[in-house]
Amino acid sequence: MKVYEVGSQQGIGSLRAAERDEPTAGPGQAVVKFHANSLNYRDYMVLNGWHLRPRRQRAPQSPSATAPAK
């Protein structure tokens, strides 16, 4: 699947496209499909290194529209 990840936190150019394997749900979990996503000011702060750095690689996400994946 296609994802966007936070790279070096050196500005908006640090947002990079990547490919990952399709996730599978474990017990008590669900896989959802994103229909829309947006970045907000907090995401912008993370991309510029002005906010706490993520401890692991993450996809930035703010309010988004999801539905159960089938």
Domain ranges of the chain: 2-68
In terms of DSSP H, where are the helices of the chain? 41-47
pLDDT tens, residue by residue, 17-66: 899 999 899 999 888 887 777 778 877 887 887 766 555 555 555 555 55
Higher pLDDT, 13 or 65: 13
If you compute the radius of gyration of the chain from its CA atoms, what whole number of angstroms results?
13
